[in-house]
Structures are given as C-alpha cells and as structure tokens.
Structure 1
Amino acid sequence: MNQKESNLPVIGGIIAAIGAGVCCVGPLVLLLLGVSGSWIGNLTAFEPYRPVFILFVVVLFSYSGWKIYRPVEECEPGTACAVPAKQQRRKVIFWLSAITAITLVTSNYWILIFA
C-alpha cells in the first residue's frame, strides 16, 4: 500500500468531522471573524446529516487506527508501516487528527459555553 492510500482514511475522517461540526462550529467561526447576517442560520441545514457524518468519522478513524496499530509482522518489508520512524509519525498525526475530529463532532455540546 502506498503513502497516499494509507492517509486516505485519516483525511476522510477529518473531512467527515468537519461535516459533522459545520452546523455548530461554522456559525461561531463566522461570527468570531465578524461575518454576520441572517443567512448564517441556514448553516444548520446540515444538522439532519450529522449522524451520518459521525458514523463516517468513527468508521474511518477505526480503520486508520487498525492500520496504524497493527503488528509490524503484518507489514511487507520496505513498506512505510515497517519503518519505525514513519510509524511513530503516523501515530502522532493520527492522534492529532482524532483529537481534532472529536472536538468537531462534540462541538454542539461545548459550543454553548461560548455562545
């Protein structure tokens, strides 16, 4: 598996997390940037799709975690998962992305603190 294919689940998870958080984080970010208007309320149109995006986040990050934390014995020699430095870097990127995704997915609960 090449480098691009192995990054797709994490990238897809982040995109799904953005989709899950756009209904809550989007209006707040726009207001913090000074953008206002009644059309901001239309960003809540994504709310019915929130469970679908959350499901994508869980599935894609579960798959990524499985690929990253699988035993090195399952890796083919010479591939990226067999190199310890690359494996460590992938773990760091995975956890930073997972924290970002969790923040976006749970935004409708903690965003009330700032509103």
Structure 2
Amino acid sequence: MSQKETSLPLIGGFIAAVGAGICCAGPLILLMLGVSGSWIGSLTFFEPYRPIFILFVILLLGFAGWKVYRPVEDCNPGDACAVPQVRKRRQYIFWLTVLFAIVLVTSNYWVVLLA
C-alpha cells in the first residue's frame, strides 16, 4: 500500500475538521488578524453542514486510526507499516491531527470565551 493511500483518511479527517470549525473559529481568526466589522458575525454559511463535517471527522479519523494501529502481522514485509520508526511517526502525526480536530470541532463552545 502506498504512502498516499495511507495518508488519505488522515488528510480527509483534517479537512473535515477544518470544515466543522470554520463557522466558529473562522471569525475568531479574522478578528485576531485585525479584520473587523459587523459582517463577521454573519459568517455562518457552513453552520448547517457542521454535523455532516463532524461525522466525516469521526469516520475518517477512525479509519486512519485503524490503519495506523493495525497489527504488524497484517503488513507485508516490505511495507512502511512494518517498520517500527515509520509506525511511531505515523502514530504521532495521527494524535496531533486528532488533537487539532478536537480543537476545531469544539470551537463553538470555547470561542465565545475568547471573544
């Protein structure tokens, strides 16, 4: 299995997390960059799609976690998943991505505390 195939669920989960958090974290980021105006409060285009993005986050990161933590016996001897250093690096990247996704998905709860 190629590097690109094993990265797709992780990349997809990250993009879905950005989509889920853009409705709430987007205006905060604009304010932090110095962009202001009453129109920022109307940036709610993605709000109706938020549950769909969250579902994609859970599904894609769950699939990525399954691929990252699958038993070594399931890997072919020449595959990258059979190399311990590569497995550890992928697990580290996976958990960083999960942490970032949690921050973005839960942003509508904590952003109001910062604004």
Alpha-carbon deviations, 1:34-91, whole Å to 9, x = none?
0112332332111000000000000000000000111000001110100000000000
CA distance in 2, matches of 1:75, 1:21: 35
CA distance in 2, matches of 1:78, 1:21: 38
Shift of 1:15: 0.4
Equivalence map 1:80-91=2 (5 Å): 80-91=80-91
Letter of the 1:96 partner, please give it.
L
Any runs of at least 4 consecutive aligned residues in structure 1 with deviations exceeding 6 A, and if so which? none
Aligned to 1:100: 100
Normalised by the length of structure 1, the TM-score is 0.96
Letter of the 1:83 partner, please give it.
V
Q: Unpaired runs of 5+ in structure 2?
A: none
Q: Unpaired runs of 5+ in structure 1?
A: none
Alpha-carbon deviations, 1:6-26, whole Å to 9, x = none?
011111101000000000000
CA distance in 2, matches of 1:43, 1:89: 37
Contact 1:22–1:43 (8 Å) recurs in 2:
no
Aligned to 1:47: 47
Letter of the 1:23 partner, please give it.
C
| Identity percentage of aligned residues | 67
The total of aligned residue pairs comes to 115
RMSD over equivalenced CA pairs, Å: 0.8
Aligned to 1:72: 72
